[in-house]
Amino acid sequence: MENQASSKSIILNYGLTLGIISVVINLIVYAMGMHLDPHWSVALISGILFIVFIIFGIKKFKETNGGFMSWGQGVKVGVGVAIIAALIGVIYNYIFMNFIEPEFMNQVMEVQNQKLMDQGMTQEQIENANEMGKAFRGPGMMAAMGIIGSAIGGFVVAAIAAAIMKKSEEETY
C-alpha cells in the first residue's frame, strides 16, 4: 500500500505541474496573438515538456520506492501524469472556448480554410472538409480526443522510459 500512496502523490504533483505549465504556455501564445496559428516551436516545447515530466515522474517514483520499480508501475505513473495534465488542459480549453474566446473555433476554421484555398483546393472541397470536421468540433469529442491522445502518448513515453528504468529486487542478487 505504501507504493500506492506515493505513486498517487507523484502522479498528482507531476501531472498538475505539467498541466499548469501547458496552460501558461497557451496563455502566452494567446497574449501574443498567435493562438490561431502558433509557431511550430510551441508544439516542440510542449512535446519536450510532456516527455520530461513523464520521465521525471517515473524517476521520482523509482527513487521513493527504494530504487526498485516494475515496468507496470512505471507505465502507471507515466500514464497517470499524462492524464492529469490532459484533464487540466481540457478544463482550460473549456474555459477558453466558452468564456475567453467564444469565437475561437470559427476563427480557426477561417484560418484553415484560407490555408486550404492557398493550397489550391476548390470552395466545394473546402466545404466538404468542413462538414466532415464538424463531428470532431463538439466540446465532448474534443475533450475525449484530448484525454485519449494524451493517454496514448503518455503510454508510449512511459513504456519506453519504464523499460529502461525498471529494476526488481531479484535483479540485485
Task: Name the residue ranges covered by the structural domains of the chain.
Answer: 2-172
Round to whole Å and give the CA distance between 157 and 52: 9
Residue 2 has pLDDT above 80, yes or no: no
Question: CA of 81: how far to CAs of 49, 105, 117, in Å?
Answer: 12, 28, 40
Do the Cβ atoms of 63 and 74 come closer than 8 Å? no
Helix axes 40-64, 2-31, angle to 10 degrees: 160
Q: What is the mean pLDDT of residues 102-117?
A: 88
Span 49-80, pLDDT tens digits: 999 999 999 999 999 999 999 999 999 999 99
**Which residues, in sequence order, are CB contacts of 116 under 8 Å at separation 6+?**
125, 126, 129
